Amino acid sequence: MLGLMQDQPLLISSLIEFAARHHHDAEIVSRRVEGDVHRYTYRDAAARARRVANALDRLGLAFSDRVATLAWNGYRHFELYFGVAGSGRVVHTINPRLAPEQIVWIANHAEDRVLCFDMTFLPIVKAIWTHCTTVKHWVALCDAAALPADTGIDGLVAYEAWIAGESDDYRWPSFDEKSAAALCYTSGTTGNPKGALYSHRSTILHAYGGALPDALGISARDSILPVVPMFHVNAWGIPYSAAMTGAKLVFPGPHLDGKSVYDLIEAERVTMAAGVPTVWLGLLNHMQQHELRFSSLQRTVIGGSACPPAMIRTFKDRYGVTVLHAWGMTEMSPLGTVCHLKNKHLDLSPEAQMAILVKQGRAVYGVEMKIVDPAGRELPWDGRQSGDLLVKGPWIISGYFKGEGGDPLRHDPDGDWFPTGDVATIDPDGFLQITDRSKDVIKSGGEWISSIDVENIAMAHPAVAMAACIAVPHPKWDERPLLVVVKKPGAEVTREELLAFYEGKVAKWQIPDDVQFVDAIPLGATGKMQKMKLREMFKDYRLPTA
């Protein structure tokens, strides 16, 4: 017997219409590329999202066509989230920090039809537009007056002019909730970037999960500053959860330094902020230098990389702000776990509570997880034994876009699991702690560096016999790449020569910070480099730049 409830698809358009109706005057505040502060309401955002939908219809874009963005966090980007996905197309957020060749590769792979970009990125667009073979329409996110006449880019329009002639009346289509809504590429695995393709259903379920009190706890009483970019897994789903709850949104635009973030928090009475540890380091330094206090901030969500325990303590002890340490992945939309105490922990001493709060936290409902040994056997949740972390749930990928990289899932008798590439312990209360990473990548300031790319370049040097790249801790960037090199017999090369060898081959921030020469790199039985052993060998090593 089936239940007798209405079978209404979970669609992203319903979020913005809900916000416009029930929270019409809740504010969305943006620091703009133009330098000023823009403010309007959910009602205004919904009207302009409908104009975007009409404009896309006028271009003749088909259902599921991709519309790319190269943009900071701001109200126009927010409108695109809803106008593009709501009208049945797919919003493809591209990370502008990638090298131009990578952006071209991703735009061509995604077969983007339209690319909308902030004026900050005009130089990138000028350099790449002729290589993006599927993009027929370029939209600069600005007024017509701000657009230089001589860009040379065919089909370029200013966003404001593009939507100005459109009606804000639009009937959002209804379709299968499993349809694709958003696309985000990750470089956090080996090989080419891979696309995580979110559906309307997965996005709405994730928005519910993210808003829960023991997740990000988002409500209509919040003023939320997502410092985490909208091109990093949809700013951790905050734009959707905020629309679902009517929370005020505060977008920082390109201004991510400590002073700008602090000023925005104070000016907009921000209650919750979210971002990677590097951002908060800048903020805390600024506050310490100028002896500042927060007047409204209650909590900050920190994830994307391990949050240093000292940062959690400083926020709590000096500023009375609760850090919610969170873990997730692009492939998980991204929320997996968030660290909140349980009722039984409330009477513990501050030190005992801190020992829990430094962990990555407990699973949000919707995410199942298990840890396994190398033979795939499930390990107990004893907080001591660590194993490969596998996850499953309705907002976790079943495959990458276009089947790239084959089937990523592990098909166990108890279901289809996604191997995260993280190594973790889970304690009896379900608190996850990441202890290592089995995937071969480095995460610097929230951005991935492929160790394989770094190694391949070193291996192309005539004096290098073998090269391995590992992550080493860094106080500002969390991790930085260290290159470990075995020289060819009789060959000579210096650290400086090797580092200079990277110039022009990768983005500057992807060049290793140091080179260490060794006699041998540990190899496993199959001849593969044993990165975990290598990391162990260099565990006390500190970078000269750190």
Kindly tell me which of 407 and 436 has the beta carbon lying closer to ligand AMP.
436
Instruction: Name residues whose C-beta falls within 8 Å of residue 372's C-beta, 6 or more positions apart in sequence.
Output: 378, 379, 387, 388, 390
- Positive or negative, the CA dihedral 460, 466, 470, 473 is negative
Which of residues 253, 334, 387, 408 is near ligand AMP by CB under 6 A? 334
Report, in Å, the least distance between residue 448 CB and ligand AMP.
Answer: 6
Which of residues 67, 329, 364, 468 is near ligand AMP by CB under 6 A? 329
Kindly tell me which of 330 and 451 has the beta carbon lying closer to ligand AMP.
330
Q: Which DSSP state fits 379?
A: P
**What residues from 428 to 447 belong to the interface with ligand AMP (CB under 6 A)?**
434, 437, 443
Residue 422 lies near ligand AMP (rule: CB under 6 A)? yes
Instruction: Name residues whose C-beta falls within 8 Å of residue 237's C-beta, 6 or more positions apart in sequence.
Output: 203, 206, 207, 210, 333, 334, 335
d(CA 461, CA 495) in angstroms, rounded, equals 12
DSSP percent split of the chain into helix, strand, coil, nearest 5 = 30, 25, 40
Residue 116 has which token pair?
């909308």
Residue 227 lies near ligand AMP (rule: CB under 6 A)? no
Residues in the interface with ligand AMP (CB under 6 A) total 21
Which of residues 83, 303, 393, 408 is near ligand AMP by CB under 6 A? 303
Kindly tell me which of 49 and 307 has the beta carbon lying closer to ligand AMP.
307
Residue 143's identity, in one-letter code, is: D
Quick one: which of 291, 439, 425, 309 has its CA closest to 371? 425
The number of angstroms, rounded, from the C-alpha of 447 to the middle of its chain's C-alpha atoms is 8
Kindly list the distances between the CA atom of residue 97 and the CA atoms of 100, 214, 400, 444, in Å, as whole numbers in the listed order.
Answer: 9, 32, 22, 12
Report, in Å, the least distance between residue 425 CB and ligand AMP.
Answer: 13
**What residues from 360 to 379 belong to the interface with ligand AMP (CB under 6 A)?**
360
Question: Of 106-114, 321-329, 393-401, 483-491, which segment contacts ligand AMP by CB under 6 A?
Answer: 321-329
Q: Give me the DSSP letters along 51-84.
A: HHHHHHHHHTPPTT-EEEEE--SSHHHHHHHHHH
Kindly tell me which of 13 and 433 has the beta carbon lying closer to ligand AMP.
433
d(CA 327, CA 2) in angstroms, rounded, equals 37
Residue 323 lies near ligand AMP (rule: CB under 6 A)? no
Kindly tell me which of 360 and 510 has the beta carbon lying closer to ligand AMP.
360
Which 3 state secondary structure label does DSSP give 455?
A: helix
d(CA 4, CA 468) in angstroms, rounded, equals 59
Q: Which residues are catalytic?
A: 186, 331, 443, 448
d(CA 229, CA 249) in angstroms, rounded, equals 13
Kindly tell me which of 123 and 430 has the beta carbon lying closer to ligand AMP.
430
Residue 510 lies near ligand AMP (rule: CB under 6 A)? no
d(CA 323, CA 257) in angstroms, rounded, equals 19
Report, in Å, the least distance between residue 358 CB and ligand AMP.
Answer: 10
Maximum CA extent, the chain: 79
Residue 233 lies near ligand AMP (rule: CB under 6 A)? yes
Kindly tell me which of 235 and 468 has the beta carbon lying closer to ligand AMP.
235
Which of residues 13, 73, 179, 420 is near ligand AMP by CB under 6 A? 420
Question: Of 76-84, 300-308, 495-503, 520-528, which segment contacts ligand AMP by CB under 6 A?
Answer: 300-308
Question: Of 24-32, 206-214, 364-372, 416-424, which segment contacts ligand AMP by CB under 6 A?
Answer: 416-424
Question: Of 73-81, 281-289, 298-306, 506-514, which segment contacts ligand AMP by CB under 6 A?
Answer: 298-306
> Which residue carries 């975007």 as its tokens?
52
**What residues from 135 to 194 belong to the interface with ligand AMP (CB under 6 A)?**
186, 188
**Contact map string, positions 41 to 80, toward ligand AMP, x by CB under 6 A:** ----------------------------------------
Which 3 state secondary structure label does DSSP give 175?
A: coil
Which of residues 304, 393, 408, 512 is near ligand AMP by CB under 6 A? 304
The number of angstroms, rounded, from the C-alpha of 155 to the middle of its chain's C-alpha atoms is 30
Kindly tell me which of 253 and 304 has the beta carbon lying closer to ligand AMP.
304
Please report, as ranges, the residues that interact with ligand AMP according to CB under 6 A.
186, 188, 233, 303-307, 325-327, 329-330, 334, 360, 420-422, 434, 437, 443
